Amino acid sequence: MIQLNQDLKRGDQSADGRLGEQLVFRGEPGYVAGVDIGGTHLRMLLADLNGDPVARWKISLPSNGKDPKSVCALIREGLQALCRDAGAKISSVLHLTAGAPGITDAYQGVVRSAPNLTGWLDVNLGELLHQALRIDVKIENDTNLAALGEHWRGAARHTDNFVFIAMGTGIGAGIFLRGQLYHGAAWTAGEIGYLRVSGLPNEPLQLAETGQLERAIGGEGIEADWRARLRSAGHSEGELRTLRASQIFDGATEGDIEAHAVLDRVATILADALTTLTLLINPDLVVIGGGVGSHPALCESVDRLLRQTDFPHPKIYRSALDTEAQLYGAISLSLSEVARRSLQD
Amino acid sequence: MIQLNQDLKRGDQSADGRLGEQLVFRGEPGYVAGVDIGGTHLRMLLADLNGDPVARWKISLPSNGKDPKSVCALIREGLQALCRDAGAKISSVLHLTAGAPGITDAYQGVVRSAPNLTGWLDVNLGELLHQALRIDVKIENDTNLAALGEHWRGAARHTDNFVFIAMGTGIGAGIFLRGQLYHGAAWTAGEIGYLRVSGLPNEPLQLAETGQLERAIGGEGIEADWRARLRSAGHSEGELRTLRASQIFDGATEGDIEAHAVLDRVATILADALTTLTLLINPDLVVIGGGVGSHPALCESVDRLLRQTDFPHPKIYRSALDTEAQLYGAISLSLSEVARRSLQD
């Protein structure tokens, strides 16, 4: 991935004593950082110039601390913690890539809309982060980063045409065509969270609101469906178990009838969305990931549903990187940026 | 478009006395031919090596003569008629491209499925046509050819990212990304005729059958909707006017209330499909063409519906080449093949 020049060389400064060489930048160990801004958590990863992780950091996003400035301050705190852990200087972090959960203009570093982070409309996150950190940064859509991560070190290493579906709090798709991320004309390619769900009433699309597919089978939609089914099965409010989507899917595999009905509904709606995707983009492979999407029972159910027609359908793989796909993608993008800039110098 | 080498030179043999030079092949005027195999008609175009048309030919497809061999025989008849008209020798036709109305493996020249030509499943049209004509041929999906035509000499000359929607007997999309046709992993990219229509019952996709969107707003679906509305408005069977879809749209612009209701329904369903397309592919431009799709009233209605949300939407243009878009695309592809082979010799 990295093109070596005189600034960027293979050295033997590997601090952890591994046999492999570590890439160094102007004679010093260099690092890159990745950030995943989720709806509920902030995750960060520090990696050396081979792309190997050296430190991880995670924090819950307080519900009143999701505004852009607070998030930037948390990222600064995280970067300091990562460097402390790895025994690295902040100045040795050559580049940072942050993934945002919404429509993102990767060229300008502007988050156009992120409904799961209330109030994020046209936020120049690239500029804010550069001011807070004083290092080079790049901003991308989080699902696009996850696609990049799966292509680099995950389930899509052997194909240049695939779609990554992220299902967690939100739902989106990262589209990878002919070996590159495909963004579309207005950075909205892959915004499948706004797809219509068969059987639900028509409604106009609204940029600042979450979409119909996301509300139906995103984490909160699944959990609400579960509670509604228990309620209509006669359970009292006091008895209602509050489970996360992945726990409900666990229940389905263990034979719980209500949980199985929830899983069936999610798989049917997701299979419909993948059919639409196949009719338009016809990818070779679909990788399903995210906290909800990477559950084995969901991938199996969707695969089975898609095989029921004679229409060509993509291979369905589970994410190989789970919740770290976006972070790996961020590291991969930062490494490309370091290599590109090093060649330009 | 054409790369000149010693076989392919600019000469002054222009038979029609035009001021421009005509490209010649090994000292002789050369030609390429394009074929559009529609659900009801066969159209052909002969062009010189500048891509300028020199003769046109069209014939109705008899309902009992749509099998592959009969279609190949008709194409042979058409090629002879075109050459007679242009005063050209058959041996001076260097290449022919045929567009098929269905899922087409352009690499192998095989039509996988064409529901509007009953019985066409896995037809090796490339081989059949080569046997019938003894010239080099290429097979493509008809809508992909139309996209290529609009990019070469039509409404999409200035963009390398757009989608062409063909609406006639059938409905399909040709996807053009980063300056190239995009086919997908199993040649089904852009098969929007199979998209679901909101409000209609779910049904499994079947490769050998027409899809739900195509049945709802393809030519026959529009005409059936029109007759049903007249019937429920109290017209007797004898009074029912049989109009073609484009005549119904004409009626709508002239103030006919039933015709306007038909147009509204078609525009609403098409706008929904374009919203899906935008969410996934987010093209810069959508060009709508085909016998039904290129009606100005339809393009205007769809454009108005898409502007009703704050979501990014593509520009909507009408086809500039109308029913000849596919033929121009075929000519463009044949010219590229002639140039490529000439460079390989």
Alpha carbons B45 and B53: distance in angstroms, whole number:
7
Chain A residues with beta carbon closer than 8 angstroms to that of B198: 196, 198, 202
pLDDT for B17 beyond 60: no
Q: Which residues of A touch B280 (CB under 8 A)?
A: 173, 175, 189-192, 276-277, 280-281
Nearest Cα residue in chain B from A163: B280
List the one residue out of B90, B277, B147, B35 whose CA is nearest residue A281: B277
pLDDT exceeds cutoff 50 at A206 = yes
Residues 239-298 on A with a CB inside 8 Å of B are 272, 275-284
Residue of A nearest to B313 (CA): A186
User: Quick check: B266 pLDDT over 50?
Assistant: yes
Q: Please, which pLDDT band fits residue B239 given cuts at 50, 70 and 90?
A: confident
Cβ-contact A330, A99 below 8 angstroms: yes
* Per-residue pLDDT at B19: 34
Residue whose C-alpha is closest to residue A41's, from A56, A25, A62: A62
Judge: A185–B276 Cβ closer than 8 Å, yes or no: no
Test B310 with A207 for CB contact under 8 angstroms: yes
For residue A128, what pLDDT band results from cuts at 50, 70 and 90?
Answer: very high
**Distance (Å, rounded) from C-alpha A184 to C-alpha A190?**
9
In this prediction, residues A274-278 reach a mean pLDDT of 94
Look at A282 and B206 and tell me if their CB atoms are within 8 Å. no
C-alpha span between B88 and A148 (Å, rounded):
54
- Answer whether B206 sits within 8 Å of A310, measured CB to CB: yes
CB < 8 Å to B308, chain A: 204
Identify all chain B residues contacting A206, using CB atoms and an 8 Å cutoff. 309-311
B192 touches chain A (CB under 8 A): yes
Is some CB atom of chain A closer than 8 A to the CB atom of B165? Answer: no
- What pLDDT is attached to residue A11? 45
Is pLDDT above 60 for B10?
A: no
Is residue B148 scored above 90 in pLDDT? Answer: yes
What pLDDT, in 10s, does the model give residues A316-333? Answer: 999 999 889 999 999 999
The predicted-structure confidence for B61-86, as pLDDT tens digits, reads as follows 988 889 999 999 999 999 999 999 99
Chain B residues within an 8 Å CB radius of A268: none
CB-CB contact of A165 with A149 (8 Å): no
Does any CB of chain A come closer than 8 Å to the CB of residue B170? no
**Which two three-digit tokens encode residue B164?**
């062409």
Q: Return the closest-CA partner of residue A69 out of A10, A132, A8, A26.
A: A132
Whole-number pLDDT of residue B273: 95
Closest-CA residue of chain A to B272: A196
Is the Cβ pair B198, A198 closer than 8 Å? Answer: yes
CA distance A204 to chain B (A): 6
CB pair distance less than 8 Å for A282 and B311: no
Torsions phi, psi for A148 (to 5 deg):
-60, -45
Residue A39 pLDDT > 60, yes or no? Answer: yes
Between chains, do B282 and A186 touch, taking CB under 8 Å as contact? yes
Confidence band (pLDDT; 50, 70, 90) for B18? very low
A2, A341 in Cβ contact below 8 A? no
**Cβ-based contacts under 8 A for chains A and B:** 120
- In what helix (H) or strand (E) does residue B316 lie, and over which residues does it extend? strand B315-318
Cβ <8 Å between A196 and B198:
yes
- When the pLDDT of each residue in chain A is averaged and rounded to a whole number, the result is 89
Give pLDDT tens digits for A215-224. 999 999 999 9
Structure tokens at A323: 């919740």
Quick check: B188 and A310 CB within 8 A?
no
Burial profile B255-265: b = 16 or more Cβ within 10 angstroms, e = fewer: eeebbbebbeb
> A278, B188: Cβ pair inside 8 Å?
yes
User: Which has the closest alpha carbon to B23: B11, B34, B32, B5?
Assistant: B11
**Is the CB of B205 less than 8 angstroms away from the CB of A314?**
no
Interface contact B206-A309, CB threshold 8 A? yes
Nearest Cβ partner for B202 among A161, A198, A281:
A198
Min distance B252 CA to chain A CA atoms (Å): 25
Query: What is the per-residue pLDDT across A48-83, written as a single tens digit (0 to 9) for each?
Result: 999 999 999 999 998 888 999 999 999 999 999 999
Answer for the pair A165, A325: CB distance below 8 angstroms, yes or no. no
**Residue % of chain A over a pLDDT of 70:** 92
Instruction: Specify the pairing of strand A93-100 against strand A137-141.
Output: parallel
In a mutational test of the B interface, the residue from A160, A278, A279 whose CB has the highest number of chain B CBs within 10 Å is A279
> What is the reported pLDDT for A16?
40
Decide if B282 and A185 are in contact by the 8 Å CB cutoff: yes
Residue A325 C-alpha from the chain's centroid: 6
Cβ–Cβ gap A206/B177 under 8 Å: no
Please name which of B113, B106, B44, B39 lies closest in space to residue B81, comparing C-alpha atoms. Answer: B44
Touching B: A residues 219-238, CB under 8 Å: none
Residues whose CB is less than 8 angstroms from the CB of residue B292 and which lie 6 or more positions away in sequence, other chains included: B167, B168, B217, B218, B219, B222, B245, B246, B249, B298
Summarize pLDDT for B98-135 with one digit per residue, the tens. Answer: 999 888 999 999 999 887 787 888 999 999 999 999 99
Q: Which strands, in side-by-side order, build the sheet including B53-60? A: B53-60, B41-48, B31-37, B93-100, B137-141
pLDDT digit string, tens, across residues B280-331 = 999 999 999 998 999 999 999 999 999 998 888 899 999 999 889 999 999 9
Contact in structure between A255 and A286 (CB atoms under 8 Å): no
**How far off is chain A from B76, nearest CA to CA, in Å?**
33
CA distance A316 to A300: 8
pLDDT bucket at B335, cuts 50 / 70 / 90? very high
Decide if pLDDT at B142 tops 80: yes
Residue with token string 């209602």: A240
